A and B are shown apart, each in its own frame.
Chain A
């Protein structure tokens, strides 16, 4: 007799559980040994793995978000530049990348893409688990994930560690074959312009949201009660449109820079479509921060290209520049930071 009253009942209950374990392990192993090795240098997990293992003293890393990935063309900036930018990546991840990089015995500069959301702390949104899973054996990685509350115990088990990420990995493999996308040492650049009409739609959406924000702020100021949804929307709009002047995190970054005077930190506010800067009510704080860095900290060099004059045809959408935009931008950037890139 079994708990189910018959051997057959027990078998029917246990066999699917065993099968589930076998299928999960089989997919895990196939992935580990056959699919992951096919990753290219644009895969996020490849980038993390590379950064952990890369020892070349000349390499100049670029850290940043998808804006950074589509703005910095390594070939235009120098043969030693590698673009480690990943979508959604801000200082939640950049701190880890910097710690890893700064632990190396190197003197090369570091380029960091800056945007108004760089210092927001939202690890559940900014840390892409799929990028870290292939290197989960690294103590540094597990420590970092645990610190940010992003490590579940099951994620260390073979069979379930990649659960939820398989399609993401496959997606990054297919990127290489998309004809309009050009890749270059970690950077992805798209030779595409959506057209005047569609770009205008994207821009209008931003204008409308900012209009909505203004209206809500006015209503709130005049004492008219806002609904719960409106309060939520206003919080969301304020958080996502203004510069996140998180002094604690900015200080942490500054201390890292001060502790490594041999490394130059090149902070670059990349070109933005004019619509993206509408509604950022505290841009003057970015200016004063950049001034502070440039005058008070000798190895942080801040460059503001947010209003860099680019025609609409240089944009993929209102948040990202396209290949042509990246070419024009990098040509100017290269001239401006050449003295830093080649100082060593």
Chain B
């Protein structure tokens, strides 16, 4: 079930009303049933993956806490890692590895009988796998107590507002909220309604409108000019931000209606002075997960300057690869990591300090960083490396400021994309001023924009595919 569907607009109020009508001790049953139903609306068979992950991690968590033997603890942790990462590997990376192995072998004239398996990627598998893994690792490291109630644990793994695209919540944060009687204040309801409206606006008005232009240009790279490709690439991060943060807003609002506070996943990431700052403000739940469970353990192994740089580069590549089984994502991670390291080195130089001490040069630095981020988006959006290279080649060799050339193809779609980008910018300012107080004018304006400008494309959220 998509958040941007009428089905969800019926489903959510029904669940919320039922939630408040039944006693607290039965609420987990309702939410678990609702969460499983929510997931099964997409492809019911894949619920078994979630159930298996849940059972394995529930069992592993209890066994890890119960046994004093460190070796056994490690075996149970490995069991959890094997099952969860095994599913992830099979559904997301299997074809990529066999395909590339086959291509590599063909370079030595060994033609293996490679067959592409038409495996449908389970929605949200990377999100719930990371969420449930964090639980087992936390229990193993003694940071969390194991959950002994299977129902609550199953709900933690599958809680519908954040099941398919995060935020990736830690058990120490989400489980107590699911178990306690929620104290929902009128302020929570205000916050929830405003967040849900903002999320819908970002998704159906901004992201889905911009995507129409980008999809047309990227579907016709050879026929598009360098400037059209530049603008499509430039607009893509705005689409991605509106799409993903829109999803998170709806998730946070939905959860808050039932008294659950999900973590913030974005903090105005696009206007930042470096890639390091950007990644600390974009998809925070993923980057903090990788920091805590990959970077920190690696840094404990070797803290030398060179090693830390290598670990940083490695985790950026890992973040890239997390997004999808494609060389474009790996190179995207590598480029991000490279720029991050260069920026980090420059930061400590007198030049770097001077730039940051002056407001104008700092603004220029943020602008430069924004452009680097936008250009990297070409890799993220391209279906393969050849396409990405074609796009960059055209952007750098065929760029023109001519408005008539820019509007020669997809004029209407381009102008609509620019319009909604400004609307997005406008509402961000509007919200800061309102500080999420209930304002009927704001609600009416949002409703009007969503209904009037909203796209009925039934587009999935971009991050569902990850």
Contact = CB atoms under 8 A, between A and B. Distances in A.
A and B from one assembly?
yes
A34 interface: no
A233 B95 CA distance: 17
B20 A4 contact: yes
A5 B457 contact: no
Interface string B218-229: 001111110000
Interface stretch (B58-66, B99-107, B149-157, B170-178): B99-107
Interface of A is mostly: helix
Given A163-B451, A229-B384, A9 B185 contact: yes
A165 B409 CA distance: 21
A273 B102 CA distance: 41
Contact of B451 (A5, A27, A154, A205): A27
B292 interface: no
Number of chain A interface residues as a range:
35 or more
Interface string A6-41: 101100110011011001100100000000000000
B16 interface: yes
Interface string B250-284: 00000001000000000000000000000000000
B30 interface: no
Interface stretch (B47-55, B299-307, B339-347, B442-450): B442-450
Number of chain B interface residues as a range:
35 or more
B6 interface: yes
Contacts of B111: 223-225
A288 to B, nearest CB: 31
A204 B451 CA distance: 41
Contacts of A332: none
Contact of A23 (B17, B102, B448): B448
A231 interface: yes
A285 interface: no
Given A13-B16, A227-B384, 11 more contacts: A4-B20, A4-B189, A8-B186, A12-B190, A13-B189, A24-B447, A163-B456, A164-B456, A205-B224, A228-B99, A228-B116
26 contacts: A2-B20, A3-B19, A4-B189, A5-B20, A9-B186, A13-B193, A19-B443, A19-B447, A20-B451, A23-B444, A23-B447, A27-B451, A27-B452, A154-B6, A160-B6, A166-B453, A167-B452, A167-B453, A171-B412, A205-B222, A205-B224, A225-B99, A227-B103, A228-B99, A230-B384, A232-B383
Interface of A: 2-6, 8-9, 12-13, 16-17, 19-20, 23-24, 27, 129, 152, 154, 160, 163-167, 171, 194, 198, 201-202, 204-206, 208-209, 223-225, 227-233, 317
